[in-house]
Structures are given as C-alpha cells and as structure tokens.
C-alpha cells in the first residue's frame, strides 16, 4: 500500500522525461550554432532559434517543413539525404542564401536501438569571420612579399651592375648608389610601418593616455613639414576655435596620425596648392580634418583607402615613397582610442580626411 505523499514510480519517470526535455530545450536555445532535427523523410521536427536566424524565418517557421523547401543549396540537401540513406555522418561548407554567410554544416544520423536510421541532426556553424580572416591574411602576406621584393630586386640589380664594372664610372656609381640608398630607406620605412601596425593591433602601445592639446600637436607636426611645404610653395591654413578642450590620447601615437595625414596631403597636392586643417568640438569629440586641393580619389576607392597596402594609383604612390600602410595605421590608432576616421573626396577637387578623439 502506497504511503501518503509518496510519488508513484511512473510519475517519477514522467517528471524526469519532462525535465530532460526542458533541459535539452534550454541547451538548444542557448546554442550559438544553428541546430535542426529531421525525420527520415528530411522534414524538420525541431529547430533552435539560431537555426531560424540562419534561414531568416520567424519563430517556428522551420517546423514540419521539408529541407529542400527552405534551402536552395543542393550541397546541404544532398549531404543530408546521403546521411539519411547511408547512416554515415558528413559535413560541407557553403554559403547559405539568403543570409550570405559561410557555414560549416555537420550532419549526423539518428539511429534506433537496432541501428536503423530514423532521422538526422544538422549543426550550422558560422565560419564567415574565420574565412574572411584567412583571406585577409593571405592577401596581407602576398602584399608584404610584393612590397619587399620590389625594392630588393632593384637593389640587387644595381649592385650586380656595379660589380660588373659600373663602379669604374664615378658618375654612374654615384647615381646607382643614390638609388640603392633610396630603396634601402623605402625598405626601412616599410618594416617600421609593419612593426608599428602590428604593435597597434596587439594594443601594446596604447598605455600612455593623458590630456593632450590637439592645437599644440598639430602645430608641432606643421613645423616638421616646414621644408616640404616651402619647397612646393603650398598654402597651409590651420583653423581652430580658442579655447579648445583637451583630448585623452597617447601623444606619440596622435603625432603619428597627424604626420601621416599631413604627409599624404603634401604628397598629393600640386605645387602652389592649398591645405586646410580644421579643428572643432562636436558633442563629446574633437574632430580634426585635413583638406587638400590635390587630384582627389575616385568614389569607388573611398571605402578601401584605409585598407593595408591599398593604393588608388599604385605607380604614383610608389614614386612618392609611400608604403601603403599610412592610412591603415591612422585608422588603427584612432579606433584604438575609441575615435573614428572618415574620408570625402572628389576627382580634381581634392580630398578631406578626418579623425575624431574624445574630449576629457
């Protein structure tokens, strides 16, 4: 005879099943990866929220639907059909429309006690960022190799010519050595820029934040470029309100940002051209813009000018001595300070590069 308050064994079993289902539901709901469970006919009998996001459907929009009705990707449908028919796990990597993200899809069979396939489980893992990183890394290695090879090839060629007898002609020897010196300096700048970019990306240098006067920093950089400005007879105008709040920044890195921006403006502004530097407070930021009257940048190139090694005019950039990393360094430094970068340009009318930093 059952004692009062004692739960029947069957009730315990039912309670445990319900608890297991709730636990499993909580696990699936919390998963970042999309999970769908299919029956032997490839109809979806369960799907978590992440899977609904993969296929961009509303809550419950995947249930009772056949896989081929929600995905036009034959790789996925064929793979799961193979899993259901062979009972062997499989995987593929594909772009799923309409999400346009890259997913690694892993499917495993669900079998009964006798080993017969009665369904399948498919897990969708987003590898978009990883694949984009692989592509960026590959492009970066290729670009670095090319940038290093070009001056090294030039240096090697001139050295071989000198060793073959050109040293006997003092004028030729001096000219070749001047070219070798210029190419060596270019290699040095490239390596220094690469090391700077690597250090900034790993946030090794952003540890000297202190109150900095933007006006003083800009005037200091303008003094550095005094000879280049005079040589090209450029009109440089610095416009700012007085007083201007201080910003919180690493003074050395801020100087590097301003040097790169003004250096670009000077390089690409023709003789007797104009450069305007504006500083102003906008909300909680100090916005600094450098506008030139140079050749300008094509509209289609604007989204890419802050990419590493991207050059609008490759031949002209190399002739100017650029490494293709200056604007990328600017972007990384500014963003590491919590600021923003932007650019506006029109062919034949010049370019405007801007940065913003938080005020104290």
What is the average pLDDT across 191-205?
Answer: 70
Q: Is the model's pLDDT at 357 over the cut of 90?
A: yes
Q: Does some domain include residue 347?
A: yes
Domain count, the chain: 3
Q: Does some domain include residue 1?
A: no
For residues 147 and 86, state if they share a domain. no
> pTM of the predicted model, to two decimals?
0.58
H or E element that contains 334: helix 326-336
For residues 51 and 133, state if they share a domain. no
- Residue 336, pLDDT score: 87
What is the average pLDDT across 141-169?
Answer: 80
Q: Does some domain include residue 240?
A: yes
- Residue 321, pLDDT score: 53
The helix/strand/coil state of 232 is coil
Cα separation of 144 and 142, whole Å? 6
For residues 118 and 157, state if they share a domain. no
For residues 100 and 186, state if they share a domain. no
- Residue 242, pLDDT score: 84
For residues 149 and 291, state if they share a domain. no
For residues 359 and 211, state if they share a domain. yes
For residues 261 and 359, state if they share a domain. yes
Q: Does some domain include residue 195?
A: yes
Single out the residue in 126, 151, 179 at which a domain terminates: 126
Q: Any idea which of 86-90, 130-134, 212-216, 335-339 has the lowest mean pLDDT? A: 130-134
Q: What is each CA distance from 21 to 25, 49, 279, in whole angstroms? A: 6, 16, 61
For residues 238 and 98, state if they share a domain. no
Q: Does some domain include residue 3?
A: no
Q: What is the CATH number of the domain that holds 149?
A: 1.10.287.130
Task: Provide the pLDDT confidence category of residue 201 given band limits of 50, 70 and 90.
Answer: low
For residues 177 and 217, state if they share a domain. no
According to DSSP, the residues that pair with 288 across neighbouring strands are 279, 355
Q: Any idea which of 38-52, 184-198, 227-241, 336-350 has the lowest mean pLDDT? A: 184-198
For residues 190 and 264, state if they share a domain. no
Q: Does some domain include residue 45?
A: yes
**Domain encompassing residue 239:** 206-360
Residues 245-284: tens digit of each pLDDT: 999 898 888 998 999 999 999 998 999 999 999 999 998 9
Q: Does some domain include residue 4?
A: no
Q: Does some domain include residue 334?
A: yes
Number of C-beta neighbours around residue 24 at 10 A: 11
Task: Provide the pLDDT confidence category of residue 25 given band limits of 50, 70 and 90.
Answer: low
Cα separation of 172 and 191, whole Å? 29
**CA-atom Rg of the chain in angstroms:** 31
For residues 195 and 155, state if they share a domain. yes
Q: Which structure tokens are listed for 266?
A: 């000077």
For residues 14 and 37, state if they share a domain. yes
């Amino acid at each position: 005879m059952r004692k009062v308050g004692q739960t029947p064994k069957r009730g315990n079993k039912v309670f445990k099943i319900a608890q297991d289902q709730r636990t499993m539901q909580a696990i699936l709901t919390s998963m970042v990866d999309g999970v769908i469970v299919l029956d032997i006919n490839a109809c979806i009998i369960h799907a978590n929220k992440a899977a609904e996001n993969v296929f961009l459907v509303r809550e419950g929009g995947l249930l009772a639907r056949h896989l081929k009705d929600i995905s036009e990707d034959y790789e996925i449908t064929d793979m799961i059909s193979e899993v259901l028919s062979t009972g062997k796990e499989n995987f593929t990597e594909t772009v799923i429309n309409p999400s346009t993200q890259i997913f690694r899809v892993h499917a495993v069979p669900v079998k009964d006690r006798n080993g017969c396939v009665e369904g399948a489980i498919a897990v969708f893992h987003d590898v978009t960022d990883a694949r984009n990183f692989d592509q960026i890394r590959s492009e970066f290695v290729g670009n670095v190799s090319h940038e290093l090879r070009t001056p090294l090839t030039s240096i090697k060629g001139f050295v071989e010519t000198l060793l073959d007898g050109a040293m006997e002609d003092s004028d030729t020897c001096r000219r070749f050595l001047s070219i070798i010196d210029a190419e060596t300096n270019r290699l040095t700048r490239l390596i220094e820029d690469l090391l700077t970019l690597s250090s900034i990306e790993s946030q090794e240098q952003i540890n000297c934040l202190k109150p900095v006067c933007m006006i003083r920093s800009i005037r200091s950089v303008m003094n550095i470029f005094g000879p280049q400005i005079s040589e090209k007879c450029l009109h440089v105008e610095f416009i700012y309100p007085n007083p201007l709040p201080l910003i919180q920044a690493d003074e050395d890195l801020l100087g590097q940002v301003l040097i790169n921006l003004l250096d670009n403006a000077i390089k690409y502004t023709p003789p007797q051209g104009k450069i305007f530097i504006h500083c102003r407070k906008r909300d909680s930021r100090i916005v600094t813009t450098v506008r030139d009257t140079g050749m300008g940048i094509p509209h289609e190139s604007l989204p890419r000018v802050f990419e590493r090694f991207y050059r609008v005019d490759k031949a002209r950039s190399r002739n100017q001595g650029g490494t293709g990393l200056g604007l990328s360094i600017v972007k990384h430094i500014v963003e590491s300070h919590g600021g923003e970068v932007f650019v506006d340009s029109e062919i034949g009318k010049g370019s405007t590069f801007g940065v913003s930093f938080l005020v104290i």
